[in-house]
Structure formats: C-alpha cells, structure tokens
Amino acid sequence: MTRNRTRHFALVASFAGLAATAPLSVLAQEGGDDAVIDLRFGGLANIEPHGKDAAAYEAVMMLGERLAEIPEETDGPEEARALIELAWSWLSGSTGLQLTQTNQAPGLALALAATPHGMSGDEFTGIVTEIMRETGGPIDEDDQGTYLSTPIGRARIETVNDGSTMSITLGTEDHASTDPLMYDLPAGSTSLMSGQFHLQRFGQFIVQIISEEEPELGEFIEQYRWVIDEAPLVDFAYGNDADYQYITSRAHDGKDWLVKLGMDPDVTITGDQFADVPQDATTLYIFPFSLDFILNIVDQLAEAEGEDPFGELEDALGFDVRGDVLENLGPRFTYYQSLSTGGGGLTSAVMICELEDAERLASTHAELRNQLNDVLSEEARGYVRVRSWEAAGHEVFSLTTPGIPLPFEPSWSIAGDSLVLAASPVGIVAALEQINTDGASIADSPVFKAAMAGITPEDGVSTVTFSNTEWFAGQGYSTANFMASALANAVRSPSDPTRDAGMLMPGYHEFTSGIKPMGAVEYWEGDDYVAMMRMEGSVLVEVAEFSTQMGGIRGLAAIAALQAGAALPALQSARESAQQVKAASQVRSLVMAAVTYSIDHDGNGPDSYDVLIENGYIGWEMLSSPAGPAYDDLGDIVLRLDLDDGQLSEYNADFVIAIDRAAYVNGGMDVSVGFADGHVETLSYWEVDEILDLDENTGAREAFQLD
C-alpha cells in the first residue's frame, strides 16, 4: 500500500470512529445539499456555569495560564508557549467543522472554522502561520494566499467574518460556521455543542473506500446496501439553562430504516413495567429488546458460508439455543438499582427480561443447569456450583463458590413471563417480592415523577431512563470534593503564589440542596425518532453522581488516582507538546546544517557529526532528544552519514535525512522527521515506517540503526 493510500485509509477510519459516536438521530436539511457532517462547539469561554460550578469554572479558565508556564519549566522553546496559548484560545472559543461530498478524491471536502477567545481571528492566524514557518511546518504562500500541505491535499488558511474567525478549507470554497444550532433544545437554553450527520452520504463514502481497498467485500456490501441507502439524517444538541443540562437528538424520517434494524414502533413502556420496579429505585432503564435482526444477519452469513451454527449447538447441547433461548427474549428489557435490592449502587442491580414463552425457557434452563453442574463437578471439583432454592414463591438459582469466600453470588429466577436476574440473593428476593405485590412502585415516586415531568409525550415512549441524582451525588460528594482540590492545585503556579483559585467546592448542604433528577425518554413523533435527556444543571453534581454509579470509589489510592486523572493529562499533554516542538526544531537545525554543509562542500554530505560541530554548523546539544536518551544508546537525534554525492542537492521532499531516533525507539511520543528539502514533519510511529519503506529511502533504516 502506498503512503498516500495508507494515510487516506487512516483518515476514513477516523471519520468512521466519529460517526460511530453520534447519537441515533438524524440530520435536519439545514446542512446543505452536499453536507455530510456539520459540528459546532460553543467553546469554554461561552459557557454559562451553574451557580454551584461558578468557582470551579473560573478555575478551569485559569488552566490556560498554568499550561503556558510549562515550556519554561521543561526548558522548551518559546514556540511551545505560543502553541499552548493558541490551543487554549481555540478551545475557549467557538469552533465549527463541516464535511461535504465532492466528486474528487478523497470524496470529502473539509472546512474548519475557529473564532478564538481573547484575540482576533487575524491575530490568531498570523501567529499560527509564523510558528509554522519558524519550525519548518508544511506551509507555503503564493499570490493566491496561504496554504497548509496535508496528506490529502492543500488546505487554504484565511480569516473571515471581518477578521474574527480563522478558516481552513480543503476541496471547497465554502466556510464552516461556528454559530450554535438549537435542535429541540428548550427555549431560553444555550447550545454548547450541536451537530448534523447525514448517515446515507457518509455511508456511501465509506462503502466507496472499502470497495477500493477490499473489492472482495463487494457482494457483501451490496447485500446490505439498504443499511446505507435508506439511512436517515441525524441531528443532536447539548445545552443548558440555569437549572438543567439537555441532550437532544432526532432521526428525521427514520422509521422505515429503524424498523429494518429491528425496532418495533408498537413496543412501548406500560404501567406493567413500572409496577415491577420498587419505589426506592435509584436508577432505571427500560428499552425495547429483540435479537431478531442479529439472528437474521447470522442466518444470511451462515447460508453464504454453507454452515449451520445453531444446528451444531443443538447437537452439542441437546436443546434449541435459538428457539428456546435467543428468540424467546423480549420484547422489553428493564434494568434498575434500588435501596431495597442492595443499597442503591451497582451491587443492587436487577435485570428483568420479558419472555415470549416462559415455560419453554424454564424447561431448557433445567436441562442446561444439570449439564452445567455436571461439568462443574468434574472440572471445578465442587468449588463452583449452581444451587437451587425457594424465595417469594419462586424457584431461585444462584452461582456459588462453596468453600471459597468470593463476594460473588449472582442469582436468577423465571417469574411469570419474565427472566429476573440480580447481583445477589438479597437482590433477587426483593425483586421477586416487588413483582408479586400490587403495592407502591417507582410510578409513585415523587422523584421519578419530577424527572419525567415535561419531557414525556402523551402518546407514550419506547425507552425510559431515570437516575436519582440527589442520592448518587450525596454519596459521591467526597470524591467530587477531592477532584475539585486536584483542579485547584492544577491551576496554582509554583512561581506565582498570587494565582490561587481558592475553594472550588460548595459545602455539603449547599451542594446537595435542590438537585434535580435525571430523566430521559425516546419516542416516535410521526416518522421521526426523538430522544430527550434532561439532567441536573451542575457539572460538579454530575461528576459526584458518576463517581458513585461507577462503584463509589473510596480510599487514598483511589483519591490519588482521581487527582492525577484530573490534573496530569492536561499537564502531560502540554509537556509533550513542548517536547515535540523542541524536537522538531532540533531536527530542522540538523537538516539545515547538513544541507548547508553540502552547499559549502560541492554537494557532498557530512560523514560525521564532528565535522558539523567543529565547523560551527551545530552544537552537541542538537543531538540530544527531549524524548531521550534512546534506550539502546545508539543515538537520539541522528543524521544519515552515508549519503552519496549529490543526494542532498536534489532536495527530495520524500528523502529522509534526519530523525528523532529516541522518540521512535522509546515510543510514547510522535517522531520528528527531517527531509532533504529542509522541511520537518511530526509523524506517528506507523507513518515513519511507511516513509522509510519508500524506495528513495532504501538504506535509511540501516543508517539510523533502527533494525
């Protein structure tokens, strides 16, 4: 595979990853006739923080000052400080990204726009281009403007909107917008992030690339072409107001497509599902569930391969796995945590799967349990066993480890028309008692009612999600408090004691007062599929809730890890940025020294570092990498000293003559590579390998001692 094709495929993979993270909802037509993706980010400086977050938000905005100090502390070049300041200005300001279809390779045009915070677009663009010139970046200028060379083409850099916004365009003359999109957000709220995804166009682009790279997949692609050709448009938005945060998404005219993917519009949430959930539930998630679509795909793949996987399983196990179990599950699934089933956290988890034929599954389960116990008796010598017992009028089963004190005893039962699973015996008993009773349920909970009020349509919903944020946040207050301390320490300066964010966390009673529960619903609105989530407006509260839901992490070790997790990634990223800028500068100095030496010596390259140092072309410090020393002591920043006469004077832009060898062999940092035309690129490990494999770089690995 050639260098360009490999980079091209990597770009496609990145786009695929971006699409995979999009919510299941679809683009409004506002994106334009050729729009594939249109994203808008409001920027840190445009956030209106919740009252409880005000001090923490001010501390976050102080991080830029702290990050800008790091290059000096790590002996990095001045350019690194400027890069960090630029990055922070970009992150704090609003940004827009737009991809559109084109008829030219690679099939997508890109437009990126940034309205930086704290400086004009003209100033921002000027600093970016100046730094790239000084560090040998892939930038060039002509009478038409300023351009950035990329693996997929030449991108134009300019300012628009009366000089307030920097614009980068590749393959298009249209500029991206940084204006926020509201998409179903309530009136009066602020849009912080929003986007549109044209799934059909994006899918067609991916199929085109796959067909070129893997033509043998053509038949498979055509068989499932409907997944792409009928895919809808998706929009989403995230925003907030004084009380809540909101996430919305909408799949426009997506009903037929979603039905083909296995969704059934007739499956809705009824009072029966709520009745099975206790009133003290802390978390609830009810959604449609069916394996039919997946089973159909398995059938088609098995037919194409001439195989019968379910038949083979039936021969081995003695029962019909597909009919008895997989097709028997559904059409709804309920997950909850509650105080009565185990204290409200993860160990209180209960899952209820409705069944099409409970008697059929019960018969199969009895046979499977006997087989499993026979195997465990022989293989585990009795230390693992499925035991049967009675509770709440139902036969219950638990996976046990007799004689071994493991804190693990999941339990399950077939009760009525449902399969019920719990994390513990206590949980299964409480869950079965709730199913048996006609008493209070989550539908009677004032907290649940508050979460659903105002977001539940009259025609019913397909999916319901609920979290008692007040309960979880109260449990997680101490963790959030320590994380706030980590942030406060992160923004303090070792050299400037006057910069202090102060106390970022409200007191416990102030923190837990007035917390709103989280509620989310998904439902059909005509042929659109709509999702709405409404949650507590304080980010600190949500952090506390999340920490509890992930297990209620406690202990000094966990606290230290959380502090490091909050502070060190940003500091480490800034440090690595400074190191890479410094490495690129050193590699460029070595390249220019070699080229200049060649000009001074009739086209001959240097045959040792000594001649360059003794004649004043470089100093010894140029050969020490910020990523070094190299673990094998065979050189940090190195130059090809085996060049034939005239190779340097050809100024070949693909001919590698210098490399940050320490970064390559040690790993953990991108690698600065210098070329014979004088430019330097900072590349990933695999990109360096790709370049070194080019014909013009034959012998480079040996010269750099990389093999």
Q: Which two tokens mark 475?
A: 């449990």
Q: What tens digit of pLDDT does each residue of 428-486 get? A: 999 999 999 988 999 999 999 999 999 999 889 999 999 999 999 999 999 999 999 99
Instruction: Output the pLDDT for position 137.
Output: 73
Instruction: Output the pLDDT for position 114.
Output: 96
Query: Can you list the alpha helix ranges (DSSP code H) found in 241-390?
Result: 255-260, 271-275, 292-305, 309-317, 358-379
Confidence grade of residue 600 (pLDDT, cut at 50, 70, 90): confident
Q: What tens digit of pLDDT does each residue of 629-643 get? A: 888 888 899 998 888
Instruction: Output the pLDDT for position 578.
Output: 65
Question: Smallest Cα–Cα separation from 704: which of 672, 670, 680, 668?
Answer: 672
Instruction: Output the pLDDT for position 463.
Output: 97
Domain ranges, ordered by start, for the chain? 1-34+195-255, 266-461, 473-514+553-566, 569-704
DSSP string of 655-669? -EEEEEHHHHHH-SS
Confidence grade of residue 31 (pLDDT, cut at 50, 70, 90): very low
Give dist(CA 464, CA 449) in Å, integer: 12
Instruction: Output the pLDDT for position 416.
Output: 93
For residues 571-599, give the mean pLDDT: 76
pTM for this entry: 0.76
Q: Please give the backbone phi and psi of residue 518, each rounded to the nearest 5 degrees, phi first.
A: -95, 135
- For tokens 């140029």, what's the residue? 622
Examine the pLDDT at 564 and tell me if it is beyond 90: no
Examine the pLDDT at 557 and tell me if it is beyond 90: no
Examine the pLDDT at 34 and tell me if it is beyond 80: no
Q: What tens digit of pLDDT does each residue of 354-412 get? A: 999 999 999 999 989 988 888 888 888 889 999 999 999 999 999 999 999 998 899 99
Question: Smallest Cα–Cα separation from 322: which of 295, 355, 289, 343?
Answer: 295
| Alpha carbon separation from 690 to 309, 686, 693 (Å, rounded) | 41, 6, 5
Confidence grade of residue 584 (pLDDT, cut at 50, 70, 90): confident
**Amino acid of residue 680:** V
Q: Which helix (H) or strand (E) holds 5?
A: helix 3-20
Examine the pLDDT at 562 and tell me if it is beyond 50: no
Question: 455 forms bridges with which residues in the sheet?
Answer: none
DSSP string of 116-161? -SSS-HHHHHHHHHHHHHHTT-SEEEETTEEEEEETTEEEEEEEET
Q: Of 442-456, 556-570, 585-599, which one has max mean pLDDT?
A: 442-456
Structure letter (DSSP) for residue 325: I
pLDDT > 90 in the chain, percent: 52
Tell me the pLDDT of the chain averaged across its residues.
86
Instruction: Output the pLDDT for position 571.
Output: 47
